[in-house]
Amino acid sequence: EDIVIVAALRTAIGTFNGGLSALHAHKLGAAVIKELVQRSGIDGADVSEVILGQILTAAAGPNPARQAAIGAG
């Protein structure tokens, strides 16, 4: 099977205890994944792996990228 990178997208840059601080990382990641799937026009069912970067992973739970992918549908 071919491996392809379809698109890339980032979230807004937040500040410590700012407007995004109450949002869990995997929820924010899910919103980004949903937007990428919509922009690219691919079928979300065709996505088999998601790689996310996260600066502060403490208390994010196990595998935030997987949690975000599941949350995105």
Q: What is the pLDDT of residue 56?
A: 66
Residues of the chain under the 50 pLDDT cut: none
pTM: 0.72
Q: What is the rounded distance in angstroms from the CA atom of residue 6 to the CA atom of residue 53?
A: 16
- Nearest residue to 71 (alpha-carbon basis) of 50, 55, 43: 50
Q: What is the pLDDT of residue 49?
A: 84
Q: What is the rounded distance in angstroms from the CA atom of residue 6 to the CA atom of residue 17?
A: 33
Q: Which residues contact 21 (CB under 8 A, 6 or more apart)?
A: 14
Residue 14 corresponds to which tokens in the numbers above? 């937040």
- Nearest residue to 11 (alpha-carbon basis) of 59, 64, 62: 64
